[in-house]
């Protein structure tokens, strides 16, 4: 941004994604500078003292703040409609920061049991060690969330759509429930991104991002972020991360900051490809079920369309038919191994289509009974759709699906 020409008010999200950041340096670069520095030279001792005492803005040390990180934080906050954001080293470190900032021993959390696996472990095992109790409830049944509330409930945590089954929860309903109980609602917006869904506008108090996924969009760096009110950022999260140190590296911040410039076009194009592939999968004789919010067969299709601006997103799960779990697994492995375009990898949000088998990867540490309860059957395949031509991805899947009968 040009320091002499501040951006006008009322710009559209597509414009904000390209234009919001920090002022250009005196050299007037158009592509944002990368501030790869751990510390900042202070003009004089008195200024240094004021900056360290938080009495004056100004950079001192990159664990406290860094211009490349600030630029990313401002741009993401603008897209989420948040007053402020804070960059973190990864998505998990954003959730850790949130928990450390909002919870203490004796507090209670209600969390969907369909959230990301590491999130389940963080709440269920790690926070439990510090005396924070978590009740896991149905992703979709608001009555179960209500029944789980206790006088000491401080936080409701949701993710929508979820991994891998793309289950959708009602953000506005959960926000109302949280606020009636004197608690906050945090939403992991990794799958939908602010292009499709703005949880803060629906009543959530905190938004979590794994920047590793769609925000980067090309699978290059680990990154994360937390969006919230200016008050929560200034009084809780910024002082905390300065102590705990899970900060976003300037280089990664720069990559993700540039990634946000193309976020909307990527998410819309990848979602359009996903819808086409999901419709085709639903008609394939070797496929048992397709889980995709954009299909009328999805159990929360109407809610998803209302909450996500009519778009289903870029992640699909589908299961192959099979007489037994062993046969389903053999067929799923055959589909994965037959793919020559899709990458066999567990990330998502990449412009390259990624294919994986949740039961032996993200959900591999669960018992078979836990997997069944979670709906992660042996025949389930997750497809994170990229920017390739959808016909090429269909042909790549057909390579394995068309001769599943032989496995
Ligand atoms: C990947 C992911 C995370 C964790 O993010 P990392 O950047 O890998 O730490 C959290 N939530 C969801 C929904 C994710 O997909």
What does the pLDDT read at residue 3? Answer: 79
What torsion, rounded to 10 degrees, do the Cα atoms 115, 118, 123, 127 define? Answer: -170
28 within some domain: no
Report the pLDDT averaged over residues 224-248.
97
Q: What are phi and psi of 278, to 5 degrees?
A: -65, -40
Give the residue whose CA is nearest to atom 10 of ligand 1: 91
333 within some domain: yes
91 lines ligand 1 (CB under 6 A): yes
Q: What are phi and psi of 337, to 5 degrees?
A: -75, -20
State if pTM tops 0.85. yes
Report the pLDDT averaged over residues 201-212.
98
Ligand 1 atom index nearest CA of 159:
13
148 within some domain: no
pLDDT at residue 70 greater than cutoff 80: yes
Of the listed ranges 109-118, 292-301, 361-370, the one predicted with least confidence: 361-370
pLDDT category, 2, cuts 50, 70, 90? confident
361 within some domain: yes
Residue 208 Cα to ligand 1 middle (Å): 9
307 within some domain: yes
Q: Are the beta carbons of 71 and 59 closer than 8 angstroms?
A: no
Report the pLDDT averaged over residues 259-277.
98
143 within some domain: no
Q: Hey, which of 126, 190, 314, 356 would you mutate to test ligand 1's pocket, going by the most ligand atoms within 8 Å of its Cβ?
A: 190
What does the pLDDT read at residue 367? Answer: 82
222 lines ligand 1 (CB under 6 A): yes
In the chain, % helix, strand, coil (3-state, to 5) comes to: 45, 15, 40
Residue 327 Cα to ligand 1 middle (Å): 30
What torsion, rounded to 10 degrees, do the Cα atoms 301, 304, 309, 310 define? Answer: -10
What are the pLDDT digits (tens) for 219-235? Answer: 999 999 999 999 999 99
Report the pLDDT averaged over residues 28-45.
96
Residue 112 Cα to ligand 1 middle (Å): 15
116 lines ligand 1 (CB under 6 A): yes
179 within some domain: no
pLDDT category, 4, cuts 50, 70, 90? confident
Kindly provide the residue ranges of all beta strands, DSSP E only, lying in 269-374, ordered along the sequence.
287-291, 315-320, 343-344, 354-356
Separation CA 336–CA 401 (nearest Å): 10
pLDDT at residue 287 greater than cutoff 90: yes
Q: 288 burial class (0-12, 13-18, 19+ CB within 10 angstroms)?
A: middle
What does the pLDDT read at residue 365? Answer: 80
**In this structure, what CATH number is given to the domain that contains residue 359?**
3.90.1150.10
135 lines ligand 1 (CB under 6 A): no
Report the pLDDT averaged over residues 368-376.
83
253 within some domain: no
Q: Which domain holds residue 346?
A: 263-406
166 lines ligand 1 (CB under 6 A): no
Per the structure, the count of domains in the chain is 1
Give the residue whose CA is nearest to atom 8 of ligand 1: 91
Q: Are the beta carbons of 329 and 404 closer than 8 angstroms?
A: no
What does the pLDDT read at residue 1? Answer: 74
Residue 80 Cα to ligand 1 middle (Å): 18
Give the residue whose CA is nearest to atom 11 of ligand 1: 116
Please give the share of the chain, as a percent, with pLDDT higher than 70: 100
Please give the share of the chain, as a percent, with pLDDT higher than 90: 94
72 lines ligand 1 (CB under 6 A): no
Q: What are phi and psi of 39, to 5 degrees?
A: -135, 170
Write out the DSSP string of 38-50.
SB---SSHHHHHH
């Amino acid at each position: 941004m040009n320091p002499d020409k501040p951006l006008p008010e009322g710009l559209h999200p597509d414009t904000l994604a390209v234009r919001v950041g920090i002022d250009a340096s005196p050299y007037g670069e158009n592509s944002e500078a990368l501030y790869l520095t751990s510390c900042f030279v202070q003009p004089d001792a008195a200024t240094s003292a004021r900056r360290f005492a938080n009495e004056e803005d100004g950079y001192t040390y990159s664990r406290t703040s860094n211009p490349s990180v600030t630029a990313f934080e401002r741009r993401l906050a603008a897209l989420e409609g948040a007053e402020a954001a804070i960059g973190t080293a990864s998505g998990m470190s954003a959730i850790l920061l949130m928990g450390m900032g909002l919870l203490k021993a004796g507090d209670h959390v209600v969390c969907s049991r369909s959230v990301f696996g590491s999130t389940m472990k963080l709440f269920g095992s790690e926070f439990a060690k510090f005396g924070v109790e978590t009740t896991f409830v149905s992703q979709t049944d608001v009555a179960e969330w209500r029944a789980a509330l206790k006088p000491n409930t401080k936080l409701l945590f949701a993710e929508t759509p979820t991994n891998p089954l793309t289950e959708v929860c009602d953000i506005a309903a959960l926000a109302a429930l949280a606020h009636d109980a004197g608690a906050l609602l945090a939403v992991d917006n990794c799958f939908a991104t602010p292009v499709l869904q703005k949880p803060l506008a629906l009543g959530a108090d905190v938004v979590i991002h794994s920047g590793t996924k769609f925000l980067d969009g090309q699978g290059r760096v680990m990154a994360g972020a937390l969006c919230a009110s200016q008050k929560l950022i200034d009084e809780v999260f910024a002082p905390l991360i300065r102590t705990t140190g899970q900060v976003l590296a300037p280089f990664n911040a720069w990559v993700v900051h540039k990634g946000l410039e193309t976020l909307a076009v990527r998410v819309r194009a990848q979602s359009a490809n996903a819808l086409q592939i999901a419709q085709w999968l639903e008609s394939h004789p070797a496929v048992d079920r397709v889980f995709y919010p954009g299909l009328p067969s999805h159990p929360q299709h109407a809610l998803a369309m209302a909450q996500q601006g009519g778009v289903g997103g870029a992640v699909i799960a589908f299961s192959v038919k099979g007489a037994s779990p062993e046969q389903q697994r053999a067929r799923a492995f055959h589909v994965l191994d037959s793919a020559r375009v899709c990458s066999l990898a567990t990330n998502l949000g990449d412009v390259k289509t990624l294919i994986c088998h949740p039961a032996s990867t993200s959900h591999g540490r669960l018992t078979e009974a836990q997997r069944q309860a979670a709906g992660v059957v042996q025949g389930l395949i997750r497809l994170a759709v990229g920017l390739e031509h959808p016909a090429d991805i269909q042909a790549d899947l057909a390579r394995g699906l068309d001769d599943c009968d032989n496995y």
